[in-house]
Amino acid sequence: MEIEVVSDIACENAGLITSFGAGAAKLFGWKHEELVGKQSVLIFHEPRAVATLVPRLLKTAVEAGKFEEEVTLVRKDESRVVGILTVRPFLKHGEIVGYMGLTRHLRNL
C-alpha cells in the first residue's frame, strides 16, 4: 500500500505533542485525541534511535534552522515506515518554544 502523505506533527520543547495533522494520522495510525497533550514525539522513533538520532536532530534543527534526513519511524501498530523527516524549530520572540516535524513517506518496511 503506497501512502502519498506528508505528515505534520508539532511539539513543545519537552516533546509533548501539540498538533497532529490528518496526514500524520493517516501515516502513523494514531488519532489526534490519542496524542495531543498526552504523548511525546518519541513514540515515533525506534527505541535504539532515541539516544542518538533525537539529540542530533534537535541540535541540527537549532543550529542550521532545520534537520532533514531519511529515517525509520514507528507506527501505532509498531510497523516501520521510512520517510524524509524535516524538523524546524518554532520561535516566539526569538526563543525556541517547540518544533514542527514533517515526514514525507518513502516506503513501508
Strands 95-108 and 67-74: unpaired
Q: Which three cell numbers stand for residue 45?
A: 522513533
pTM for this one?
0.90
Q: Is residue 1 part of a domain?
A: no
Q: Which three cell numbers stand for residue 1?
A: 500500500
pLDDT at 1 over 70: no
Average pLDDT on 2-12 reads 78
Q: Is residue 50 part of a domain?
A: yes
Q: Is residue 47 part of a domain?
A: yes
Range of the domain at 87: 6-108
Report the C-alpha gap between 99 and 109 in whole angstroms: 26
Predicted pLDDT of residue 38? 96
Structural domain count of the chain: 1
Q: Is residue 88 part of a domain?
A: yes
3-state secondary structure (DSSP) of residue 72: strand
pLDDT at 105 over 80: yes
CATH number for position 68: 3.30.450.20
Query: Amino acid letter at 87?
Result: V
